[in-house]
Structure 1
Amino acid sequence: MTMTRRTLATLSAAAVPILGLAPAAWSAPPGSLSAGGDASRALSRARAAAEVLMADYDPDKAWFPSSWWNSAVALQTIGDYMLRSGDLRFLDQLERTFERNKGPFPAGELSGDEIYGSFCSRAIDDSGWWALTWMRAYDLTGEQKHLDMAVTIGEFMSDFWDPSTCGGGIWWDEERTYKNAVTNGQWIRLTAQLHARIPGDRQWLERALEAWEWYAHGAMIGEDGLLNDGLTDACENNHDRVYTYNQGLAIGGALELWRATGDETQLERARCFADSALAEGALVEDGILVEWTDALGESTNDNHKQFKGIFLRYLMDLADTTGDARYREFVARQAASIWERDRTLDGRLGVRWSGEESADSPNVADWRTQASALSALIADLPADGADSSLTAALTQPSVVIPDGEPTASSLQLEVTATTAAARKLVVHLEVEAPDGWIVDLASRIRLDLPGGDAVVAVELPLTVTIPPDAADGVHEISVRARTSAQQDFTAGARVVVAREIAFAGGTEDGPWLWEDRGSGVTDEPGRFADGTSSFTYRFPFPAGTTTAQATVTISNQFVVELSADGSEWTSVLRETEQIRDASNRGDRTLDLTPYLGGEDKDVYLRVSDAFAEDGWGGQVHRVTAEHSAG
């Protein structure tokens, strides 16, 4: 984890609250979950979750917004999905990330820290995540450049192996302040993987065995088989929290070294690490994997959000390797709970896989929690794949601002399917919407499927007409897609009706956010855009609007631009001093009337960074807007 002023400010940031969702749809008690599940259903769920995750990928910066190491783990998860499912549609994004981000970057450009090049930085564990990601890319593509990059990162990490302190181990950071479980778990997994993929290697195997000897007999592993986070300055167990990802890396490292050596004791240690974690009350509550920050009232953070998925990645590896039904059953239980309890109508997967939440402690969801839960859905997919799949997804509509007349909102429904053998498939579509709403959609479609791993996707227009008396708030519509082969998938969308425009940046602005190019969120609250990032709000004013204005509470080094079409921009506000303490925070009122002349009455407001080089861009705390007709 890389700690900077900005990341410290975002640690307890809420993302998208999942309020009042799936528990009502959960009818079976946890004990009744099937062990293996249906392979077609598992593939459909994993594909849908992967598509939601990749919708957050920033093609410009070629990462997921605002988190360097989290992006590596999310991309490795997508690699896991492609390798296990055979669906290779995201290879271009993986390649884009490699080519765009393999060079050096100044501090603040990507992660807060300077990136030296070859995905290395002062945070050694951050570098390790990227090495494991490029190992997965090599397994997918066979391209030597990915293996070479993993080797380069491995050599960088090797410089921080230091037997003069605590007898060995990789330092966590360039300043050599801490030896911990995550960095050394990564190191064992990586070195053993490199040995297996480099013909005639001895050096990487020697490094792996040296690291394993230090790690397996070291002080971080407690008598209960659980790993505490790291060592004290006196080289003793610091009795810090047992994080799920550390336990997962212990499983993964032991497994990969067993493959390299054939030493059965290493396979047994992998089992021991898993069994210790899966004991009820260790890292499991009521059959569901938990991070300690999952407890109601605790604050999660952008790092903790991805830990459980890393554990599931390596538990999947252990389940595949041993064929142990206990591990398969545990995986199936996680996948079922995530899908039935922890999923929003529009396919977001939250941080608590049980779905538990309260008004004061919502179950937050963002791309990090999506990637983590996706690992569990991937693990539930049999290693030999599935014969077929069916998914459906709805685009999320603009906010509707009523003006006394029915309002039409246009959406797109995408249906995707696969089959092992070529065939024609008829998909029936059924719509559910609030009373008085009209939804125009075809009742069925016919797909020509070529067979194999080819994914066929069809987009259909869908028009929702909202009555003028629709209440303010969130309204749900859904489309159920089903086939005669008992495939069944439901897509959903949330239509926000709002007669008053008032929202906090970062916590309530999701429905108004038209484009997000790498912004971040703090808990002040506020959404910020550092460096070359930006974010854009859209105000879809009614057709009769003749005047409008917005008041933006904003701070730090901001640039604010307005547009009538989201393409041509006019700069209306710019901070001329390099303010970093929000001392210029205040309300700025903007006249939106000159921008009401487009094809519709939409007005776009974009925020970016006035001094891109220092990482303290504009931060929006609150937005209100007013409009009138005639």
Structure 2
Amino acid sequence: MIKLDAVRVRVRTLFIVAGLTALAATFPSMAAQPDKAPPPADGPTSMARARVAADVLMRSYDPVKAWFPSSWWNSAVALQTIGDYMERTGDRRYLGQLDNTFEKDKGVFPAGVLSGDPLLGNFTSRAIDDSEWWGLTWIQAYDLTRNPKYLDMAVKIATYVNGYWDTSTCGGGVWWDGERTYKNAVTNGLWIRLTAELHNRIPGDSLWLGRSKTAWAWFQNSGMINADGLVNDGLTNACTNNNGTVWAYNQGLAIGGGLELFRATRDPKILTSVKRLADAAISPKGLNKAGVLTEACDALDQTCDDNGKQFKGIFARYWTDLVDTTHDRTYAAFLEDQAESIWNHDRDAANRLGTRWSGATSDDHPNVFDWRTQASALSALVGDVPRFTPIESMAGTLSPAQPVVMPAASGTTTIPVTLSASATGFFPLLALANVDAPAGWTATPRSSLVRLLPRGNANPVGTTVPLKIIVPSSAKDGHQFVTVNLTAAGLRFTAQADFLIAHKIDFDTGTVDENPWLFDPDGSQSNGVQNRFADGNAHFTYRFPFPADTTAAHVTLTIDAEFLVQASSDNQTWTTVLQEANPVTDGSNKADRTIDLTPFLGTATNGAKPVYLKVSDAFPNDGWGGRVYHVTADIAQ
């Protein structure tokens, strides 16, 4: 009789070999491309990266309103991205959030509750493209669950949108808005994809197929595709190309719409047109800058608005479809390059992903990190996961990921850090966690064994390991990294914490310099131009870990609008220290205001006297809460 453990080893080996064989067939070796460095991540690592990024995104999901705060169509795209992630990896932890949104938000809502426009019910509104985004989201939910209510909702949405197909202007096309003022690329690219997806899921359908074919033919001859094969934004009133910006999402939707229709018809002419659009996108005249997908608003003298932040992710979604459909190595390599650039250059220690996939930033127009940019970049990471789902994966994260240490004149500062490890698969994992800290620092323990017992891919299992990082008083100012390398049989993952050593407090809000100080962003927002604000019931909290020998501390906020500022020594008991008494919505009260934090300096713990400062809305009903631009502090030791 063969021992059970031996059987497991043999079966595991067979699965791994089979998986590697399948991967090799799909993605040939890059050994013939020595200029590609570093090589793309293997399948298990790609899946782990996507899981880490998806978890970060879902922390911003509001379960009460069942959306991502303050953006209606963006929420649809983010939820569809989470659906893409679940479909690609087998992870099913977020099905409940999809259904929560479906049930809570399918009704009628007045303007300003979930959208600037009134919502007419069934996820429709005067914004026709917004309605289409929700239609695609519910088809994704149907693909995941096979629950017919999601497909029925998509049909209702598409039926509503069909009422805005109009041949009396420009010979066809769907209007962008209920007022019928504009025919553009996004609305019609969405329409082609939505109608083709419905056909491919409704047995015996001919109605939606006919509409998709008609829309594709009209789009191809509309004039929106220019001579370079790039999709401009829309049509003029004279039904000619308006030469508007070539946005990544328009190009991606044209590719995606054609691919879904190709699956429905197997017409090779459609695939030829799709490839022309794809080749144009990554040409020097297209959206490819030094191998990285780049929007016009990604320029260092510009900032993408909340819409533009998600355009590249939509492109990546349909580019993934292109790779899966064609198995073209050039297309696959481009997708791999996006994922590698995002992970290596456009990610902070908290695993937040920014708007510029190259990682480029500038003082006046910094690289922005929020849930929209997270959802966008996640699409590229999802696309990098092999279609043949890896048998197992392992990931690790550190928290706090961006701690601040303000050393005393002597002594040490101890920072508790937690290593969280997660795994999927069908076999027990024993991983070794090795900690690498800067010279002169101490990590306890330096090494530890992590045991994980995954039970498939649908619900990744996790465990935690407590660590202590002891920072000497001689630590130099600036960013210092603590790294944990997790290693198991055939698996490897690296987690980092970015320690900011600081003897002073001086930062602009809404920038990467703010991140280590931002203890709890709650529902606050930053529009990427160096400010942070909290409207309604939202707030944001800074943590200032003043040195253990601090005797007095004052903080100065550049602040305006209807602010309510509270201080605490324990993040539980709060005292109001600053409040605007009048409703101010025009920024006219912007000023530097100094707060004495000395009364909140408690007993030193782990080498620090932390003080928490919370900013919220003094008049939560009108939506003009506290807005902070700059933070400085004076410390006496």
Q: CA deviation at 1:492?
A: 0.7
Which residue among 381, 385, 388 is the counterpart of 1:381? 385
Change in Cα spacing, 1:506 to 1:33, as seen in structure 2 (3 Å) is closer
Structure 1 residues 284-312: Cα deviation after superposition (integer angstroms, max 9, x where no partner): 23433322333444443333232222112
Equivalent residue number for residue 274 of structure 1: 278
Is the partner of 2:175 in helix, strand or coil?
coil
Q: Does structure 2 retain, via aligned residues, the 8 Å contact 1:64–1:518?
A: no
| Helix, strand or coil at the partner of 1:520 | coil
Residues 303 and 528 in structure 2, CA contact (< 8 A), matched pair in contact too: no
**Alignment check: 8 A CA contact 1:30 1:333 kept:** no
Structure 1 residue identity aligned to 2:407? P
Shift of 1:136: 1.2
Following TM superposition, by how much is the alpha carbon of 1:468 offset from its aligned partner in structure 2, in angstroms? 1.7
Residues 423 and 452, structure 2, Cα contact 8 Å, conserved in 1: no
Aligned to 2:482: 477
Rounded to whole Å, the distance in 1 between the matches of 2:214 and 2:504 is: 64
Verify the 8 A CA contact 2:435 2:446 in the aligned structure 1.
Answer: no
Cα distance, 1:280 vs. partner? 3.8
Aligned-residue identity in percent:
53
- What does residue 226 of structure 1 align with? 230
Trace 1:368-447 onto structure 2 (pairs within 5 A): 368-395=372-399, 396-404=401-409, 405-419=411-425, 421-423=426-428, 425-441=429-445, 443-447=447-451
Residue 422 of structure 1 aligns to a residue in which SS? coil
> Aligned partners of 2:527, 2:325: CA distance in 1, in Å?
42
What TM-score do you get using the length of structure 2 for normalisation? Answer: 0.86
Give secondary structure in 2 for the equivalent of 1:230: coil
Partner residue of 1:6? Answer: none
Return the alpha-carbon distance in structure 1 between the equivalents of residues 501 and 64 of structure 2: 32
**Alpha-carbon spacing, 1:114–1:531, altered in 2? closer, same or farther (3 Å):** farther
Contact 1:398 1:540 (C-alpha < 8 Å) held by counterparts: no
**Cα deviation, residue 510, structure 1:** 1.7
Distance in 1 (CA, whole Å) between partners of 2:276 and 2:260 is 15
How far off its partner does 1:409 sit? 0.9
Question: Structure 1 residues 430 and 182, CA, compared in 2 at 3 Å: closer, same or farther?
Answer: same
Correspondence 1:559 to 2:559: no
Kindly state the Cα deviation for residue 330 of structure 1 after the two structures are TM-superposed.
Answer: 2.5
Match of 2:463 in 1: 458
Q: Could you give the per-residue CA deviations for residues 264-297 of structure 1, whole angstroms, max 9, x where no partner exists?
A: 3323322232222233432223433322333444
Check whether the contact 2:406–2:546 (CA below 8 A) recurs between aligned residues.
yes
- CA–CA separation in structure 2 for the residues paired with 1:238 and 1:575: 47
Counterpart of 1:151?
155
In the other structure, the counterpart of 1:449 is 453
**1:535 corresponds to 2:543:** no
Partner of 1:615: 623
1:370 is paired with a residue of what secondary structure?
Answer: helix
From the superposition, tell whether residues 528 and 199 of structure 1 become closer, same or farther in structure 2 (CA, over 3 Å).
same
The 5-angstrom pairing of residues 298-313 of structure 1 reads 298-313=302-317
Rounded Cα–Cα distance in structure 2 between residues aligned with 1:359 and 1:519: 22
Q: Where does residue 519 of structure 2 map in the other structure? A: 514
Once the two structures are TM-superposed, the CA of residue 228 in structure 1 deviates from its matched residue by: 0.8
- Secondary structure of the 2:316 match is helix
Distance change in 2, residues 1:595/1:545 (3 Å): same
* Helix, strand or coil at the partner of 2:615: strand
Are 2:335 and 1:327 equivalent residues in the alignment?
A: no
Bigger relative contact order, structure 1 or 2 (CA pairs below 8 A, ≥6 apart): 1
Which residue of 235, 239, 247 corresponds with 2:239? 235
TM-score, L = length of structure 1:
0.86
Query: What is the CA-CA distance between 1:57 and the residue it aligns to?
Result: 3.5
Question: Structure 1: which 5+ runs fail to align?
Answer: 1-27
- Is the alpha carbon distance of 1:260 and 1:177 closer, same or farther for their aligned partners in structure 2, counting shifts above 3 Å? same
In 2, Cα distance between equivalents of 1:54 and 1:522: 20
User: 1:338 and 1:589 mapped to 2: Cα distance?
Assistant: 39
- On the 8 A contact 1:426/1:444 being kept in 2, the answer is no
Amino acid at match of 1:417: A
Q: Distance in 2 between matches of 1:575 and 1:107?
A: 28
Match in the other structure for 2:195: 191
1: CA distance, partners of 2:34 / 2:521 = 38
For the 8 Å contact 1:41–1:389, the answer to whether it is kept is yes
Check conservation: 1:397, 1:411, Cα contact below 8 A.
no
1:88 has 2:92 as partner? yes
Note the C-alpha offset of 1:236.
0.6
Q: Which string of whole-angstrom CA distances, capped at 9 and with x for unpartnered residues, describes residues 329-375 of structure 1?
A: 32223333333444444433333334445666654443333322222
Summarize the Cα distance change of 1:494–1:106 in structure 2 as closer, same or farther, 3 Å threshold.
farther
C-alpha contact 2:346 2:358 (8 A) present in aligned 1: yes
Flag the 1:441–1:144 CA change in 2: closer, same or farther, 3 A: farther
Equivalent residue for 1:39?
43
Give the conservation status (yes or no) of the 8 Å contact 2:556–2:594: yes
**How much has 1:515 moved relative to structure 2?**
1.5
Equivalent in the alignment of 1:3: none
How much is the aligned-residue C-alpha RMSD, in angstroms?
Answer: 2.9
Shift of the alpha carbon at 1:413?
0.7
- Which stretch of structure 1 is more off in the superposition, 553-562 or 594-603? 594-603
AA in 1 matched with 2:610: D
Distance 1:63 1:545, change over 3 A: farther
1:118–1:599 distance in 2 versus 1, CA, 3 Å: farther
Paired AA for residue 447 in structure 1: R
Q: Indicate the residue corresponding to 1:246 in structure 2.
A: 250
1:120–1:567: structure 2 CA closer, same or farther, 3 Å change rule? farther
Which of 589, 597, 600 is equivalent to 2:594? 589
C-alpha displacement of 1:258: 2.5
Aligned to 2:628, the other structure's residue is in SS state strand
For residues 494-545 of structure 1, give each alpha carbon's deviation from its aligned partner in whole angstroms, at most 9, with x where no partner exists: 1122232233232232222122222222455321112332222223334555
The reply on whether 1:167 has 2:175 as its aligned counterpart is no
In the alignment, is the contact (CA less than 8 A) between 1:108 and 1:531 conserved in 2? no
1:124 matched residue in structure 2: 128
C-alpha separation in 2, matches of 1:372 and 1:334: 12
Q: 1:35 to 1:494 in 2, by over 3 A?
A: closer
What letter is aligned with 2:423? A
**Residues 146, 369 of structure 1: alpha-carbon distance in 2 compared, 3 angstrom cutoff:** same
Q: 1:72 aligns with which of 53, 76, 80?
A: 76
Given the superposition, is the C-alpha separation of residues 118 and 595 from structure 1 closer, same or farther in structure 2, using an over 3 Å criterion?
farther
The residue type equivalent to 1:278 in the other structure is: I
Structure 2, unaligned runs of 5 or more: 1-31
- Aligned partner letter, 1:393: T
